[in-house]
Amino acid sequence: MLSMSNLGSVGQAASYYAEDNYYSQDENQAQSEWQGRGAELLGLSGQVVTEDFTAILSGELGEQQLGRYAGKNDKGEVERDHRPGYDITLSAPKSVSILAEVGERGDVRAAHEAAVSQVLSYIEKNLVGARVTANHVTEFEQTDNVVAARFAHTTSRDLDPQTHTHVVIANATQTQDGQWRSLSNELLYKNQHLLGSIYDSELAANLRDQGYRLETTPEGRWEIAGISKEQILEFSKRTQAIDQRLESLGLTRATATGEERETAALHTRSSKQEVDHSALREEWKDRAQTVGIDFKSIEEERVKGTQ
């Protein structure tokens, strides 16, 4: 599943991703990485450091400062109006999350991350550019570079296993003349459904290549074989809360609009909290055993699928 949204203020965004999103600050930075040709042009690589992340989201790129002049503050400092960027979140099906985070299958997590990389590669090669004005004519220029900060997470707000990755794309791209400009986002939003399909198909292909058997659900989605609907529901408190909210409004996921589903998600969203991930994973394992998830059997079937 893929969701996309505009980032809010720089301060909120920097705190959300780089400090307290289900991790302590140090732990969260260890789960992060700079990505994209734009990041390479700026000399950004490895873990995402909060100071660099904040500067990029603020539109500070080398000696350039992006954004419209918005006056001066009480200290006489120039202020600029600049949108920080965009959050593209890619979340795996629940059976994938159970195997990756509860069963601690590194190959499953790697299959997810490889699918995320394919989505980012497609975005960079096909969907990014800037509006450039020359001789009083403004045209779209494809730039093929993004500055992206990637954050890998394992947990939902309700503390269920949820394999997901935030790809935070800064509102900046370098044009042919070497100047940094704000990113034109029309193609990103226009192709949101396509990007979700790329992630889904790449993840499914990666898992099949590893020997996992996939089953189609009645809703037309897929899950890894060997994990039942009832077992999935045990680790799906967030999904159940959203469904209950929709039901109270006389709606279902099938009948609700995208906006109605998003509103239901916001109304049922728990506040963030820092947790002990080692203790949480042991709790997940106890719950998995209680509902009869047989990781050994799934692994044996996977091995057969590779032969």
List active site positions. 16-17
Residue 34's SS3 state is strand
How far is Cα 288 from Cα 286, in angstroms, rounded to an integer?
Answer: 5
β-strands 173-174, 180-181 pairing: antiparallel
Phi, psi (degrees; rounded to nearest 5) at 130: -145, 160
Burial class, 299, CB count within 10 angstroms (exposed 0-12 / middle 13-18 / buried 19+): middle
Hey, which residues does 152 pair with through a beta bridge?
165
In the chain, the N- to C-terminal Cα span, in Å, equals: 30
Quick one: tokens of 219?
A: 């809703």
How far is Cα 293 from Cα 296, in angstroms, rounded to an integer?
Answer: 9
